[in-house]
């Protein structure tokens, strides 16, 4: 018996912290690396599981993000961890290293394993596969609600078909449309739309790694814009610097459409709404 408690009191509180484990909720807990994967997990979880995203700040860079003690505890305690993988959100990989955690890694769910672009949340096929994996994992954790998880995954995938319909129409109406990107963020969106990314790899790689591109790469990319060799500039609003800002200004001067993309959810929208808007913006730019 715990010191200072009567037998009746102990029975009333069942196993309290002074001697045993507290009774835990039966609701499964999911931790996602970013609010993008959190939104996808929430679509499957519904009200039957709790979802918490580590990165929700648009200014945070998942490549260099470092977890706090609170973040680490959340990840450690989660029943399921959903993350991007592909060296994008390595803070998750570090947090679960050596631990027997149930996880869903999106990068491993991509259909084309030869394509190593890590920004797989722009790949609708991969996202659909992730939704299925989340439903399967939750079904094992929480068997009584397994059917509900599966049904919500199906509903979510049906919603994704709306995004695919837009990109499919772009590929049919404007096949091979030339575009440029400030970095290779929307790679899979462009693949689905049948667009050609003309940006020099050296330029995109340097911007993504937050280093200065070689002058020749900058000049070649700028020539795409000033020479009107592309129909749109796909622009990551979360990693802006003088070089990319100058590129955007050049596009606006040349009358080339700028399509804004990001790595985290805009405020007030879910994943499907966000990607629908991205696809519509690309369609409008190419039209």
Residue 18 counted as domain residue? no
Least confident of 29-38, 99-108, 238-247: 238-247
Q: Domain for residue 1, yes or no?
A: no
Among 116, 134, 164, residue at a domain's last position? 164
The SS3 call for residue 5 is coil
Q: Judge whether residue 20 has pLDDT over 90.
A: no
What is the per-residue DSSP string for 61-104?
Answer: -TTT----HHHHHHHHH-SEEEE--TTSSHHHHHHHTTS---EE
Residue 248 lies in a domain: yes
The b/e string for 76-92 (b: 16+ C-beta within 10 A; e otherwise) is eebbbbbbbbbebbbbb
**Whether residue 181 sits in one domain with residue 127:** no
pLDDT per residue over 27-61, tens digit each?
999 999 999 999 999 999 999 999 999 999 877 77
Q: Containing domain of residue 148, as a range?
A: 29-164
CATH for 151: 3.40.50.1980
- Could you tell me which residue, 107 or 14, shows the higher pLDDT? 107
Statement to judge: residues 194 and 138 lie in one domain: no
Looking at the fold, whether 208 and 243 belong to one and the same domain comes out as yes
- In this structure, the answer to whether residues 151 and 178 fall within a common structural domain is no
> Is 15 contained in some domain?
no
Residues 139 and 195 in one domain: no
pLDDT band per the 50, 70, 90 thresholds, residue 11: very low
Statement to judge: residues 160 and 179 lie in one domain? no
CA–CA distance, 168 with 120 (Å, rounded to integer)? 18
Spatial contact of 66 and 91, defined as CB atoms under 8 Å apart: yes
pTM confidence score: 0.89
């Amino acid at each position: 018996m715990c010191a200072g408690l009567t037998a009746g009191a102990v029975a009333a509180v069942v196993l309290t912290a002074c001697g045993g484990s507290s009774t835990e909720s039966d609701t499964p807990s999911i931790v996602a690396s970013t609010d993008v994967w959190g939104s996808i997990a929430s679509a499957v979880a519904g009200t039957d599981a709790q979802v918490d995203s580590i990165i929700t700040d648009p200014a945070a860079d998942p490549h260099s993000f470092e977890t706090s003690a609170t973040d680490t505890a959340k990840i450690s305690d989660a029943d399921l961890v959903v993350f991007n993988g592909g060296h994008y959100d390595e803070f998750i990989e570090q947090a679960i290293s050596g631990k027997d955690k149930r996880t869903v890694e999106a990068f491993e769910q991509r259909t084309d394993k030869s394509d190593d672009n890590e920004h797989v949340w722009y790949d609708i096929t991969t996202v659909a596969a992730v939704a299925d994996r989340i439903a399967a994992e939750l079904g094992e954790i929480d068997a009584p609600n397994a059917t509900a998880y599966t049904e919500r995954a199906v509903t979510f995938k049906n919603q994704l078909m709306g995004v695919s319909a837009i990109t499919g129409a772009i590929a049919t109406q404007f096949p091979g449309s030339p575009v440029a990107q400030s970095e290779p963020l929307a790679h899979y969106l462009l693949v689905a739309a049948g667009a050609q990314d003309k940006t020099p790899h050296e330029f995109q790689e340097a911007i993504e790694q937050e280093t200065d591109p070689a002058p020749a790469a900058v000049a070649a990319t700028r020539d795409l814009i000033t020479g009107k060799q592309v129909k749109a500039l796909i622009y990551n609003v979360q990693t802006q610097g003088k070089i990319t800002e100058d590129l955007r200004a050049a596009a606006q001067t040349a009358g080339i459409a700028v399509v804004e993309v990001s790595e985290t959810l805009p405020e007030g929208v879910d994943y499907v709404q966000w990607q629908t808007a991205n696809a519509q913006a690309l369609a409008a730019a190419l039209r």
